[in-house]
């Protein structure tokens, strides 16, 4: 275990960034009812964060994506499909086949 200094907020910058993101995007909008519920919510958000959420540092690609999806030029043939995550708190969009 490595202890951080109490007056050095930048010592744990990466952890603080992740915790802040989880609080702003998830925990401020949902009521956690127990440990099992908290684990389920955090696992669902982790899957969304790593597979679907765009990241600015990766040119708007999720961490697990290898390349950009193909652009849809004709929206009449490729309608967007929405998947509701965590009761609609998060929405994921993709083209319907």
Confidence grade of residue 39 (pLDDT, cut at 50, 70, 90): very high
> Domain for residue 74, yes or no?
yes
> Domain for residue 3, yes or no?
no
pLDDT at 82 over 60: yes
> Domain for residue 72, yes or no?
yes
The pLDDT mean for the chain works out to 77
- Higher-confidence residue of 21 and 66: namely 21
Provide the domain limits for residue 91: 9-95
pLDDT at residue number 32: 92
> Domain for residue 28, yes or no?
yes
Domain count, the chain: 1
> Domain for residue 85, yes or no?
yes
pTM, to two decimals: 0.64
Q: Tens digit of pLDDT for each residue in 11-21?
A: 777 778 888 88
Cα angle value 52/53/56 (rounded, 5°) = 130
> Domain for residue 1, yes or no?
no
pLDDT at residue number 55: 67
């Amino acid at each position: 275990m490595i202890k951080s200094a109490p007056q050095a907020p930048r010592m744990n910058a990466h952890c603080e960034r992740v915790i802040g993101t989880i609080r702003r995007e998830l925990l401020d909008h949902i009521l956690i009812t127990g440990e099992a519920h908290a684990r389920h919510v955090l696992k669902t958000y982790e899957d969304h964060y790593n597979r679907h959420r765009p990241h600015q540092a990766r040119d708007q690609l999720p961490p697990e994506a290898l390349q950009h999806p193909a652009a849809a030029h004709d929206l009449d043939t490729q309608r967007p499909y929405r998947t509701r995550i965590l009761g609609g708190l998060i929405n994921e969009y993709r083209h319907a086949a």
